[in-house]
Amino acid sequence: MEYLTTLKTLHILATVLLLLGALGLAAWTWRARRQGDGEAYTKLLRRPLVFVWLLMGLCLVSMPFTGWWLVHLVGWPLGQTWVLASSILYSVGALAAWWLLVRLNRLRKAEPVGLRLTLALALFSGVCFLSIAGLMGAKPV
């Protein structure tokens, strides 16, 4: 049983770190823009913020594996609605996060990129991952 508790703790920790990292980057960017920093978007992918992006990426990659492992250990069928919904939301949210990173990299290189779509991608992926956290917490059967 302690193996299950350890795995559950790692899965929850990855979720919390992912959401806190995204919230921290969003707050940093919002504060920098409010202070009039025109290069706030270009600084998002520089050191020391790259550590946050790498930590978020590690969490993003580990969550499907630890989630599947948890479902397997507990014995839930993979066909439950909340497990399928979480998988679909994860796939869509991860693609949106990847597209967001590509757009932020284009901003870093000073290529013209629409900021509305970039903000929409950030909000969409954030809502997807918050919804997954809600589904994990509620576990409706």
DSSP letter assigned to residue 6 = H
Most confident of 37-41, 66-70, 124-128: 124-128
Work out the pLDDT band at 36, boundaries 50, 70, 90.
Answer: confident
- CB of 101 closer than 8 Å to CB of 137: no
**Which tokens sit at 7?**
């795995």
**Which tokens sit at 56?**
């978020």
pLDDT digits (tens, 9 = 90+) for 82-91: 888 999 999 9
Cβ-Cβ contacts under 8 Å for 70 (sequence gap 6 or more): 4, 7, 8, 11
The count of C-alpha atoms lying within 13 angstroms of the C-alpha of 37, restricted to the half-sphere facing its C-beta, is 14
Name residue, tokens 């992926």: 125
pLDDT digits (tens, 9 = 90+) for 88-123: 999 999 999 999 888 888 887 877 778 889 889 989
| Total domains in the fold of the chain | 1
Q: How far apart are CA 59 and CA 116, in angstroms?
A: 26
pLDDT above 70 (res 141): no
Question: Which pTM value belongs to this model?
Answer: 0.81
pLDDT digits (tens, 9 = 90+) for 42-98: 777 776 677 888 888 898 899 989 988 988 888 888 888 888 899 999 999 999 999
What range does the domain containing 19 cover? 2-138
The pLDDT score that the predictor gives to residue 92 is 96
**Which tokens sit at 24?**
């921290």
pLDDT above 80 (res 23): yes
The pLDDT score that the predictor gives to residue 48 is 66
Cis bond leading into 77, ω under 30°?
no
How many C-beta neighbours within 10 Å does residue 25 have? 17
